[in-house]
Each structure stands twice: as structure tokens, then as C-alpha cells.
Amino acid sequence: MNETLAQQIEPERVSGDELEQSQQPMLRMIRELIGVTPSCDPILDIWPPGFRTFNVLVPSLLNLPGAMLGQGPAKELVGIALYTSSRASGCPYCTAHHCSFAIRRGANPQAMLGRGVGVEAAVADLAEAMAMVPPMVSEAHVRAVEQHLSAEELEWIVLAVGLGGFLNKFMDNMGIELEARTIADVQALLRPTGWKPGKHVRSPYGVEPSVHSAASAAHRLALPPLPPEPTWAATDTSGDIPLDGFGSYLRVLRQAPSAVRSEKSWTKGVSGRIGPALLMLEEQVGYGFPVLAMLRSQKAVKALATAIRDNLDPDTTRVGIEAKLLAGLVYAGHVQAHVLADELIYLIDRLVPDADPRLVVATRRFAAAPTAVSEFPQGLTTEQAAALLLAKAAAPSPSQVSEITVATVGPHLQADEIVELMVWLGLLQTLARLYAFFDAAMPAVDADPGTSGLGRTAVAGG
């Protein structure tokens, strides 16, 4: 029996050589940021809009390459926000990657262990609160960060946590395999926190690292030496995480022009200005998602509008718009993202006019009920039922997608349908985290989702 969705669909994964030929600049930029080419890429490209979504959101919501040149908040704070939100979400894969990302950007190791002070502590507290299910963001979290950062700097922290929502949801639900290099880099720092890679390492994994490797990394990070843990440790490496320097800046900048060209081709026809972006979504998707109007960054607006457009494109969906929206409703119901749920219901009415209203009501009931006693909505196709079952298991953080879930939905969903669903839920988690922040930052005056996208002054969420 396959343990994870990633293992289930592995025969369909795109070859690394094919990806390297077509996406070399973007892959090299990511490799410079985290030290490895993430193993999610060949899985994401099974459904090409999913790979594009990943590669549009990552540089745009992290403000790359500008952040490497000092634009926005100190880049180590962005790393702390990513790491803390991933740890709160319970995704071992992202926790490891974002630990490496943060240390490379110069983050204080003590802040990574929850011992930060001042702005580090304020950023970590906000990131953790945004990532909780349901979210626990309060106005006090927002005001604490505002004491240290400008509004523009705060927005980049919030966008990083939003990006983490996409990454956490996809990597955790799919069970993406964690690279040996990443484990070797972070295990000494993360082991005192109770972190283990779990399902993200296939068993048996390999040989334990030498005591020297673990001790070397622990000494560099001012932590006590740790014994090796042979049940999941990677092969022996130095364990040292290199810090950003002039050379790393040059290597990122060298890839930037080609990466930007790819990004421009993917976002073609989408404006970063609020008005045109919302109007485009209303025309092509059926709804403007006015949470975008809360953002200052045109780069972020363009990326999020592109991702929404591509994920609701009837010409590229494999699982079907109705199944996606119902699965999204299951997610929104579980995480108590009430405005997001209302928006999805409105989209069902616009995009699937023949949908039975009783099916929508039954889906909301299915989302809210405990798994053991939840009843499937009537009138679903076999594929739709599998999609809703998968969404039910995928909605919590950490993921509840088990071997039984994989065995149950596997025969009824194709590989590209599974990737599409998990990308969609990841995008919804990004939006849900933004809703949670703006609900706390500016008390909501909700408008009917059927009104113009510019009619909402703030949004609530979960």
C-alpha cells in the first residue's frame, strides 16, 4: 500500500531532466535560496497550471529578487515568519525548508527555537497565529509588529505567511519526499523542537550521520551537541548552512532576468493594479476576490490574480469546476473561513448554475461534521465523492491524509486530478490566511459577495 499521495502518483511525475531544460532559471534561483531543487517540482508539473502557480507565487510573495537587495523587511524576519507558520501548521517538509531558508538569510537560531525578542518575537507570534486552525490572529498581534515595521514591511511578512499556507497545504497533504541534503542541514537545530520528517522520508531511509556532523552543526548554532538518530537521519554531510553573501546575491541576480521572463509569460494579461485585476477576475472567473484590494504590492496582486484565474480555468481543469468548488467548500468549512465559504458558494451559483442547492447545503454539513459521523452529500459522481473525501482529510493542519485515504481515493482520481485538488486547496489556504490577518487588522464591514469586488472594505476568514 502506498503511504502518501506523492508515492501513489510517482509513476506520472515529470522527469528532472525535462524540468531542468524547460525551467532552468527558476529552478536555479530556488536552489540558491534553499540549497536544493525541491522534490515537489516533478509532482507539481503533472498538472502544469500547478507548477505555474507554485512558480508565480513563490518569487512574487517573497518579493524576489528585490528582497535579496534589501527591499522590504529584513529578509531574516521573512524567514522566521515562514518557519514559524510552517511549524504551527504541522508540515515537517516546509518546517525543514523554511528553517534552511531562514538561517541562510541570517536568522537568529534562538529565534527559530522560540526564544526571539523584540521584532523577532512579534513576527513569530503573528505568523503562528495566522497559521493556526482556526486562526487566532488578534489586533494585538498586528499592533505588536507595527511597533517595529512599516505598513509595507508588514505586508511582506503577511504575504510570506500566506505563501506558507500554499506550501504547507500542498507538501503536507501530498507527503512530498524531503531531500537528504535538507535533513542534514537542519536536523541538529530542529531536533530539540521535536521535529521529525515523518512521512516525508521513505523507510528505510539510509544510514545515520556521523556524530561529528551533528556536533559540528550544533556548535555553529550555539546548541548542545546531539546524538545521531538512525531511524530517520540522512547520510553524512557537513550540516553547515551557508549564509547569504555577495556571491549568493550575484547568483540569484544572474538567474533573475530569465526567471522574470518566464513569470511575465505566465502572468500575461493580468494587471497588478487593483481595479483591472479585480475586473479581470470578475469577467474570467465570475468573482473579483476583493481581499486583493487590501494589498499594496502590485507584484503580489498580479501573482494572486493569476493563480486564481489559472485554477478556475474551465479549459485546463481535470477534476472539474464543480468538484473543485465543492472541495473548496469542504476546506473552508473545516477551517471556519466563513467569508471564503460564502465566496465559493457565490462562485458555484455563477459557474455551475445547474448545481442543486441541496448539494451545497449537504456539502457544508459534510464539512462541519466530525469525520466519523459525516454523511456524504447525495448526487455526487464517484470522482466528485473521491474529491470531497480527499478534501475532508486534507483540510486540517496537520494533514489527515492517511494510507487509508490514499487507498480509497487512488482508484477514482487520476494523478493530475490529485495534484490539481491539492494546489487548489493550497491556494485557498493562502487566501484564508490573508483573510484572517485583515480581519484582525481592520474590523470587517462585509459586503454581499455578489456585489462588486471593490465593495468590501475588509474581509473575515479562518
Query: Does residue 196 fall inside a structural domain?
Result: yes
Name the residue among 221, 191, 216, 184 with its Cα closest to residue 109: 221
When mean pLDDT is compared over 102-116, 160-174, 359-373, the highest value belongs to 160-174
According to the model, what pLDDT value does residue 236 have? 36
Query: Does residue 37 fall inside a structural domain?
Result: yes
Q: Are residues 330 and 191 in the same domain?
A: no
Q: Are residues 204 and 328 in the same domain?
A: no
Contact 352, 287 (CB under 8 A): no
- Of 223-237, 284-298, 340-354, 403-417, the range with the lowest mean pLDDT is 223-237
- Of 132-141, 363-372, 445-454, the range with the lowest mean pLDDT is 445-454
The helix-helix angle for 357-368 and 321-334 (nearest 10°) equals: 40
- Of 74-88, 243-257, 307-321, the range with the lowest mean pLDDT is 243-257
Tell me what the mean pLDDT of segment 429-451 comes to. Answer: 75
Tell me what the mean pLDDT of segment 227-234 comes to. Answer: 39
Q: How far is it, in rounded angstroms, from Cα 290 to Cα 268? A: 21
According to the model, what pLDDT value does residue 457 have? 34
Q: Which of 195, 220, 245 is the last residue of a domain?
A: 220
Q: Which of 220, 254, 269 is the last residue of a domain?
A: 220
According to the model, what pLDDT value does residue 232 have? 39
Instruction: Name the percent of the chain lying above pLDDT 90.
Output: 65
Contact 85, 132 (CB under 8 A): no
Query: Does residue 444 fall inside a structural domain?
Result: yes
Query: Does residue 131 fall inside a structural domain?
Result: yes
Query: Does residue 381 fall inside a structural domain?
Result: yes
When mean pLDDT is compared over 31-35, 59-63, 165-169, 250-254, the highest value belongs to 165-169
Q: For residue range 326-335, list pLDDT tens digits in order.
A: 999 999 999 9
Task: State yes or no: pLDDT of 352 exceeds 60.
Answer: yes
Task: State yes or no: pLDDT of 295 exceeds 60.
Answer: yes
Contact 304, 430 (CB under 8 A): yes
Task: State yes or no: pLDDT of 461 exceeds 60.
Answer: no
Tell me what the mean pLDDT of segment 148-161 comes to. Answer: 97
Cell of residue 90, nine digits? 504541522
Task: State yes or no: pLDDT of 448 exceeds 70.
Answer: no
According to the model, what pLDDT value does residue 453 have? 33
According to the model, what pLDDT value does residue 23 have? 65
- 138's CB contacts (< 8 A; 6+ apart) are 129, 440
Task: State yes or no: pLDDT of 364 exceeds 90.
Answer: yes
Task: State yes or no: pLDDT of 440 exceeds 90.
Answer: yes
Q: For residue range 35-46, list pLDDT tens digits in order.
A: 788 889 899 999
- Of 28-32, 62-66, 358-362, 412-416, the range with the lowest mean pLDDT is 28-32
Contact 63, 157 (CB under 8 A): no
Query: Does residue 396 fall inside a structural domain?
Result: yes
Task: State yes or no: pLDDT of 450 exceeds 50.
Answer: no
Q: Are residues 216 and 325 in the same domain?
A: no
Tell me what the mean pLDDT of segment 281-306 comes to. Answer: 96
Q: Which of 152, 185, 220 is the last residue of a domain?
A: 220
Q: How far is it, in rounded angstroms, from Cα 183 to Cα 196? A: 9
Q: For residue range 126-147, list pLDDT tens digits in order.
A: 999 999 988 999 999 999 999 9
Task: State yes or no: pLDDT of 452 exceeds 80.
Answer: no
Query: Does residue 234 fall inside a structural domain?
Result: no
According to the model, what pLDDT value does residue 258 have? 64
Identify the sign of the CA torsion 368, 371, 375, 377: positive
Q: Write down the mean pLDDT value for the chain.
A: 84
According to the model, what pLDDT value does residue 244 have? 75
According to the model, what pLDDT value does residue 14 have? 85
Total domain count, the chain: 2
Length of the chain: 462
Cell of residue 237, nine digits? 554531510
According to the model, what pLDDT value does residue 2 have? 67
Q: Are residues 213 and 317 in the same domain?
A: no
Q: Are residues 216 and 324 in the same domain?
A: no
According to the model, what pLDDT value does residue 302 have? 97
According to the model, what pLDDT value does residue 79 have? 95
Task: State yes or no: pLDDT of 159 exceeds 50.
Answer: yes
Task: Read off the CATH number of the domain in which 57 is found.
Answer: 1.20.1290.10
Q: Are residues 216 and 329 in the same domain?
A: no
State the first-to-last Cα distance of the chain, in angstroms, to the nearest integer: 34
According to the model, what pLDDT value does residue 69 have? 74
Query: Does residue 306 fall inside a structural domain?
Result: no
Q: Are residues 70 and 211 in the same domain?
A: yes
Tell me what the mean pLDDT of segment 421-435 comes to. Answer: 98
Q: How far is it, in rounded angstroms, from Cα 451 to Cα 47? A: 33
Give the domain extent around 85: 5-220
Q: How far is it, in rounded angstroms, from Cα 234 to Cα 196? A: 12
Could you give the C-alpha distances from 235 to 39, 81, 181, 227, 232, in angstroms and in order? 17, 29, 8, 14, 10
Cell of residue 434, nine digits? 490573508
Q: What is the pTM of this model?
A: 0.86
Q: For residue range 65-95, list pLDDT tens digits in order.
A: 778 777 888 899 999 999 999 999 999 999 9
According to the model, what pLDDT value does residue 231 have? 40
